[in-house]
Amino acid sequence: MDLDTSVYTKRKSSVDAIVRANAEGPGLCAIILTFISYILIMATMPFSFCFCIKVVQEYERAVIFRLGRLLKGGAKGPGLFFVIPCIDSYRKIDLRTVSFDVPPQEILSKDSVTIAVDAVVYYRISEPLSSVCNVTDYSHSTRLLAATTLRNVLGTKNLAEILSERETISRNMQSSLDEATDPWGVKVERVEIKDVRLPVQLQRAMAAEAEAAREARAKVIAAEGEHRASRSLKEAAEVISQSPGALQLRYLQTLQTISAEKNSTILFPLPIDIISHMMKKK
């Protein structure tokens, strides 16, 4: 709420400054020229209406200057408005949202990693008078400021933060740009980071690191499986040792499994009694 109040105060003060600058009435020469222009318009009617009546669309506003001074009443439109040829000039301002690509910026992150980052900025004109009177070219100025803000914001972040906190960085850029462009009558609506390109050597190093981490996890998982399998085999051996007939059943089950395969297999049956006799000797 405090930020919105400060933005509104700055905008209002900017417009008030323009109005105060125009508070002084036109000089005698300007009055005479205006009077002569009105006489010429009336004398050439209705042909003069083709030059005096202008139209702006619903999404446009017209900022009119008369003999170099801003005309009272603010921006005109939408619809019809009246200008005096020869002494009036006007400029149309488009109020629709405009988007542009920020060129890729070579940025040195906080942890000394060089990356290339590009973004997209969406903005619109919220105050036509300020966009005409306070800045020469609001579009070009906003583009330059967006590139500078992108470099300044990302220069304070580590590589991991840039890759994982894109939304936070976008919001910070949007608030910084909106505050800086408010005196120009520009409202920055959204900032999005399109792409973060890393050097090839850094990509290879990160890929090798990720592969090594995956191999380490695979080895740990395999070791845990071997450990669990050995404990299961130990428990199975203890169960079989308690029942001599279980070993015979296990032997027959193994023979059935081998015979079910279509491979050429040679079996040398070994009586269970011999094995049990050898186990008793131990």
Which residues contact residue 204 at a Cβ distance below 8 angstroms, ignoring those fewer than 6 apart?
A: none
- Mean predicted confidence (pLDDT) in 242-265: 69
Nearest CA to 21 out of 134, 99, 112 is that of: 134
Identify the pLDDT of residue 1: 43
Domain for residue 271, yes or no? no
Could you give phi then psi for residue 252, rounded to 5 degrees?
-65, -35
Number of domains in the chain: 2
Confidence grade of residue 275 (pLDDT, cut at 50, 70, 90): low
Identify the pLDDT of residue 11: 56
Query: ∠90-182-5 over CA atoms, to 5°?
Result: 125
Identify the pLDDT of residue 197: 83
- pLDDT one-digit tens code per residue, 211-227: 788 888 888 898 888 88
Identify the pLDDT of residue 215: 85
Angle between helix 244-260 and helix 272-281 axes, rounded to 10 deg: 140
Other CB atoms within 10 Å distance of the CB of residue 127: 24
Other CB atoms within 10 Å distance of the CB of residue 83: 19
Identify the pLDDT of residue 52: 86
Identify the pLDDT of residue 3: 46
Domain for residue 9, yes or no? no
Residues 114, 107: contact at Cβ < 8 Å?
A: yes
Which of 39, 61, 94 terminates a domain? The answer is: 94
Range of the domain at 162: 98-202
Domain for residue 10, yes or no? no
Domain for residue 236, yes or no? no
Residues 125, 185: contact at Cβ < 8 Å?
A: yes
- pLDDT one-digit tens code per residue, 150-172: 988 888 888 888 888 888 888 98
C-alpha–C-alpha distance, residues 167 and 158, integer Å:
15
**The three-state (H, E, C) secondary structure of 193-225, written as one string:** EEEEECCHHHHHHHHHHHHHHHHHHHHHHHHHH
H-type alpha helices, 53-185? 128-133, 138-154, 159-164, 166-181
Nearest CA to 179 out of 255, 139, 123 is that of: 123
Report the run of H or E that residue 114 belongs to, with start and end: strand 114-125
Which residues contact residue 243 at a Cβ distance below 8 angstroms, ignoring those fewer than 6 apart?
A: none
- Mean predicted confidence (pLDDT) in 35-51: 82
- pLDDT one-digit tens code per residue, 81-91: 888 888 888 99
Domain for residue 182, yes or no? yes
Average pLDDT, the chain: 80
Question: Is it the case that residue 49 has pLDDT exceeding 90?
Answer: no
Domain for residue 260, yes or no? no
Angle between helix 244-260 and helix 200-242 axes, rounded to 10 deg: 130
Question: Is it the case that residue 23 has pLDDT exceeding 80?
Answer: no
Q: Which residues are 79's β-sheet partners? A: 56
What CATH number has the domain bearing residue 185? 3.30.479.30
Identify the pLDDT of residue 25: 61
Which of 58, 75, 94 terminates a domain? The answer is: 94
Identify the pLDDT of residue 274: 57
Q: Residue 92: how many CA atoms within 13 Å on its side-chain side?
A: 13
C-alpha–C-alpha distance, residues 258 and 256, integer Å:
5
Domain for residue 234, yes or no? no
Domain for residue 50, yes or no? yes
Nearest CA to 119 out of 90, 162, 69, 62 is that of: 162
Identify the pLDDT of residue 62: 92
Q: Are 117 and 80 found together in one domain?
A: no
